[in-house]
């Protein structure tokens, strides 16, 4: 597969999603994935656990969805376009397939049960009255019972094996079909030619087929549980809404709503689409999106989001985001892409799976040859070879990683932690140094002017007028604080011209025709304007950010701005420290202010007066620091930010964490988005990552241990094919069940 996963590929590529049918094991998924990635302009990932293919088409690609479906069909599998709108149809189709498989299983069980009783009688020493050794059932009866199970019930395995071998690879179907066919074929020859001295193994072939089918049924149920979180998100979407049309309130499908529609949300109802409150006051429960248990007050002008639940008052709102443009739809899309991506640890599994089936077939051949040559016992050699083929089916190996990823990302979505891809999830667990922006991350991100300090001979209103005029043309976080202060003091801005911003420093422009400056004391000093040093030091020591103002080369005064620390920040920093994560603050503020904020937050290391590009260099330094520590070779550097200026640093980090209330640029750049502006969610994401990686390691150990132990036992004649079939079926279910334990974390 190409190195870029669908989840991390360029936004210039179109994403397509397909539901797959016919995948039997990880090798099937790998085969489909390889074929799709060989198509021009395609980046694809196939998730065996969810039975989905995620395909990105390059901007200039001429491939169509139909051509992709045809490519999958040529391999012997079915592909159908998938999405939120097809979810109900996909679920119905899976349920119908499940019912058909269940019917086949009960038929197979009914035919196999007499054969199993025959095997039990054989072990008990019972004999057939006609003298056929240990056969209680006549062999022709056994033949008639086993043959429908072998070729009717087992047809799916033969079809899958044919398509797999025709494509030049092997999968689980090859092992099952080959193993059971050997047992059935030998038994049939013995029966047809009346070789009474030889034992028949019809019970082995039929039992293995039946148990493998049972295992697939149980596996399908377990995989459905693994995707339950995503299904729950999809079900959150309301189907109808109360919409005002021409003065009349009508109930209409949500799918027909358009941006600008005015809709009504009654008490206790779910909000149908994203919108803005026009009238009404109510408390809205947003726990399904953010994980926040406390309802949020909504007033005129406040945003509301689809699937959130209104409290005890009526709200009248205007739609702003509908269909795929709602926040809920974005969350579902992100979770789907994360569940379809591959963690770096999966690459080893893929490499092993590619050679696994040929290796198992070789092991079975050697087992057969060894027993026949050394012991001279053809039937025993055959049985042991069949056991090797059956016990080694690689289903558990293929499910080990994707099921854990599915459950982990689903749990994260419920807790307000949205993971972009599996690589970000894996890297989050390895974070040892976490760089954090100050404004909006550690602090509330809503600065207020605490002091307006004009210098001697300068009117307070003059100072505010110049400051407000210069700030009205910028998007700096402090700008709103300055303009709000001027408004509160009934000071109107002047006429602004020739505004130019100096990133990380300040702005210059003409106010009422006069050249003016606004920015940090250091910036003003560079321009030849010096502010009173004692005044600046006193304010900075009190964790105030300073905005100096000058006009015509003369200092007018200083505005002191405070951005209060979030109440949860000190506890979050302590929690991260307990996880072995060092929090380092990166700030563009002056050193004294940064030191005061860091001390209040419980942070011991910080860097101040940094420009955006200098934050990126700081991250590179942290990476080099970890690389120099032999014990931290797999450690990673994380970055938490919320603003546009944080985007380069978020991209430069091993894994970026974006505050959900921040800019769209930051959230698109980061690997993990936190739906609540709370540093505690970073700790939650790290804990979730580590728990998920632990489950993956447990699953892989179990899958490898199962095969490493089972194959030798079967080869040395210590494992009956029927027992091997049961063990193989249970191994897959056990791996998925272990992944599901993440839901109880």
Helix (H, G, I), strand (E, B) or coil at 525: helix
If pLDDT is split at 50, 70 and 90, which confidence band does 682 have?
very high
Residue 396 has pLDDT above 60, yes or no: yes
pLDDT, one tens digit per residue, over 323-374 is 878 888 777 776 666 655 666 666 666 666 667 778 888 888 898 888 888 8
Mean pLDDT of the chain: 80
If pLDDT is split at 50, 70 and 90, which confidence band does 125 have?
very low
pLDDT at 224: 65
- How far apart (Å, rounded) are the C-alpha atoms in residues 65 and 175? 33
Q: What is the pTM of this model?
A: 0.64
Sheet holding 496-502, edge to edge: 448-454, 554-562, 545-551, 514-519, 506-511, 496-502
- The secondary structure of the chain in percent helix, strand, coil, rounded to multiples of 5, reads 55, 20, 30
- How far apart (Å, rounded) are the C-alpha atoms in residues 624 and 627? 5
H/E stretch holding 671 reads none
514, β-bridge pairs: 511
Residue bearing the bigger pLDDT, 399 or 436: 436
- How far apart (Å, rounded) are the C-alpha atoms in residues 312 and 282? 6
pLDDT at 26: 66
Helix (H, G, I), strand (E, B) or coil at 574: helix
From 81-95, 359-373, 662-676, the region with the lowest mean pLDDT: 662-676
DSSP-derived secondary structure letter, 565: B
pLDDT at 533: 85
pLDDT, one tens digit per residue, over 510-545 is 999 999 999 888 889 988 998 888 888 888 777 787
Count the Cβ atoms, other than its own, within 10 Å of residue 494.
19
Contacts of 391 (CB under 8 A, 6+ apart): 707, 710, 711, 713, 714, 719, 724, 727, 728
Query: Average pLDDT, stretch 307-319?
Result: 90
Check if the beta carbon of residue 468 is closer than 8 Å to that of residue 511.
no
If pLDDT is split at 50, 70 and 90, which confidence band does 645 have?
low
pLDDT at 473: 66
Residue 421 has pLDDT above 60, yes or no: yes
Percentage of the chain surpassing pLDDT 70? 82
pLDDT, one tens digit per residue, over 461-473 is 999 999 999 988 6
From 232-241, 277-286, 482-491, the region with the lowest mean pLDDT: 232-241
pLDDT at 574: 95
From 124-138, 191-205, 248-262, 291-305, the region with the lowest mean pLDDT: 124-138
If pLDDT is split at 50, 70 and 90, which confidence band does 3 have?
very low
Name which of 10, 59, 18 is nearest 35 in CA terms.
18
If pLDDT is split at 50, 70 and 90, which confidence band does 550 have?
very high
Contacts of 531 (CB under 8 A, 6+ apart): 521, 524, 525, 546, 548, 555, 558
Q: Which pairs count as long-range contacts for 451-459, CB under 8 Å and 24+ apart, including other chains? A: 451/539, 451/544, 451/558, 451/559, 451/560, 452/485, 452/489, 452/557, 452/559, 452/560, 453/535, 453/557, 453/558, 453/559, 453/560, 454/556, 454/557, 455/532, 455/555, 455/556, 455/557, 458/556, 458/557
From 97-106, 196-205, 225-234, the region with the lowest mean pLDDT: 225-234
Residue bearing the bigger pLDDT, 583 or 702: 583
Residue 644 has pLDDT above 60, yes or no: no
- How far apart (Å, rounded) are the C-alpha atoms in residues 516 and 75? 71
pLDDT, one tens digit per residue, over 478-517 is 788 898 899 888 989 889 888 888 877 888 899 999 999 9
pLDDT at 641: 80
Residue bearing the bigger pLDDT, 664 or 720: 720
pLDDT at 169: 67
pLDDT at 143: 92
pLDDT at 8: 38
Contacts of 85 (CB under 8 A, 6+ apart): none
pLDDT at 123: 46
Query: Average pLDDT, stretch 400-427?
Result: 82
Which runs of consecutive H residues, i.e. helices, occur in 429-504? 460-471, 477-488
Residue 2 has pLDDT above 50, yes or no: no
Residues with catalytic function? 437
Residue with the two structure tokens 């109930």:
251
Residue with the two structure tokens 């090798």:
27
If pLDDT is split at 50, 70 and 90, which confidence band does 128 have?
very low
Name which of 623, 585, 587 is nearest 604 in CA terms.
585
Contacts of 375 (CB under 8 A, 6+ apart): 381
Residue 27 has pLDDT above 90, yes or no: no
Angle between helices 395-414 and 680-715 (to 10 degrees): 170
């Amino acid at each position: 597969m190409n190195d870029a996963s669908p989840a991390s590929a360029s936004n210039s590529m179109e994403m397509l999603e397909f539901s797959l049918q016919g995948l039997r094991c990880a090798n099937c998924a790998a085969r489909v994935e390889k074929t799709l990635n060989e198509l021009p302009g395609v980046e694809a990932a196939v998730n065996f656990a969810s039975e989905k293919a995620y395909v990105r088409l390059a901007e200039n690609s001429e491939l169509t969805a139909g051509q992709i479906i045809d490519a999958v069909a040529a391999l012997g599998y079915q592909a159908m376009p998938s999405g939120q709108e097809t979810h109900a149809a996909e679920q119905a189709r899976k349920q119908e397939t499940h019912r058909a498989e269940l019917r086949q299983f009960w038929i197979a069980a009914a035919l196999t049960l007499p054969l199993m009783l025959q095997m039990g009688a054989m072990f008990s020493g019972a004999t057939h009255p006609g003298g056929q050794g240990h056969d209680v059932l006549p062999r022709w009866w056994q033949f008639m019972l086993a043959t429908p199970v072998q070729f009717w019930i087992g047809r799916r395995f033969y079809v899958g094996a044919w398509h797999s071998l025709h494509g030049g690879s092997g999968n689980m179907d090859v092992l099952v079909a080959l193993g059971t066919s050997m047992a059935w074929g030998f038994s049939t020859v013995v029966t047809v030619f009346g070789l009474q001295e030889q034992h028949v193994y019809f019970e082995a072939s039929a039992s293995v087929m039946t148990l493998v089918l049972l295992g697939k049924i149980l596996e399908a149920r377990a995989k459905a549980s693994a995707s339950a979180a995503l299904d729950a998100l999809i079900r959150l979407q309301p189907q109808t809404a109360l919409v005002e049309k021409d003065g009349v309130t009508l109930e209409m499908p949500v799918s027909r709503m358009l941006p600008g529609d005015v809709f009504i949300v009654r008490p206790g109802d779910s909000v149908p689409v994203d919108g803005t409150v026009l009238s009404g006051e109510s408390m809205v429960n947003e726990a399904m999106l953010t994980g926040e248990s406390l309802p949020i007050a909504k007033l005129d002008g406040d945003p509301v989001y689809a699937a959130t639940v209104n409290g005890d008052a009526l709200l009248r709102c205007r739609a702003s985001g509908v269909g795929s443009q709602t926040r809920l739809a974005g969350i579902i899309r992100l979770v789907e892409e994360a569940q379809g991506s591959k963690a770096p640890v999966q690459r080893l599994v893929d490499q092993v799976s590619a050679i696994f089936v040929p290796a198992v077939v070789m092991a079975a051949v050697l087992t057969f040859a060894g027993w026949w040559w050394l012991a001279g016992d053809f039937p025993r050699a055959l049985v042991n070879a069949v056991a090797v083929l059956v016990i080694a089916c690689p289903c558990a190996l293929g499910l080990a990683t994707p099921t854990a990823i599915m459950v982990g990302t689903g749990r994260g979505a419920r807790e307000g932690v949205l993971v972009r891809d599996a690589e970000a999830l894996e890297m989050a667990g390895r974070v040892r140094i976490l760089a954090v922006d100050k404004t909006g991350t550690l602090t509330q991100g809503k600065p207020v002017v605490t002091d307006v300090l004009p210098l001697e001979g300068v009117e307070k209103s003059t100072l505010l007028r110049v400051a407000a005029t210069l700030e009205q043309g910028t998007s700096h976080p402090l700008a709103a604080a300055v303009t709000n202060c001027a408004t509160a003091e009934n000071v109107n801005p002047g006429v602004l011209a020739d505004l130019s911003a100096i990133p990380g420093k300040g702005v210059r422009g003409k106010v009422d025709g006069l050249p003016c400056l606004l920015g940090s004391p250091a910036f003003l000093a560079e321009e030849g304007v010096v502010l009173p040093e004692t005044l600046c030091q006193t304010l900075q020591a009190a964790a105030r950010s300073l905005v100096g103002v000058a006009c015509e080369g003369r200092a007018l005064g200083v505005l002191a701005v405070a951005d209060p620390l979030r109440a949860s920040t000190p506890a979050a920093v302590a929690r991260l420290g307990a996880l072995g994560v060092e929090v380092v603050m990166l700030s563009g503020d002056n050193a004294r202010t940064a030191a005061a904020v860091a001390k209040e937050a419980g942070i011991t290391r910080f860097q101040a007066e940094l420009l955006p590009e200098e934050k990126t260099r700081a991250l590179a330094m942290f990476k080099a620091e970890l690389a120099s520590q032999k014990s931290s070779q797999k450690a990673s550097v994380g970055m938490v930010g919320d603003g546009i200026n944080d985007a380069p640093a978020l991209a430069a980090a091993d894994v970026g964490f974006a505050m959900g209330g921040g800019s769209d640029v930051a959230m698109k750049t980061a690997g993990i988005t936190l739906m609540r502006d709370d540093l505690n969610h970073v700790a939650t994401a790290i804990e979730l990552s580590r728990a998920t990686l632990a489950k993956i390691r447990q699953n892989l150990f179990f899958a490898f241990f199962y095969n490493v132990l089972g194959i030798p036992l079967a080869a040395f004649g210590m494992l009956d094919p029927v027992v091997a079939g049961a063990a193989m079926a249970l191994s897959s279910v056990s791996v998925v069940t272990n992944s599901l334990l993440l839901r109880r974390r």
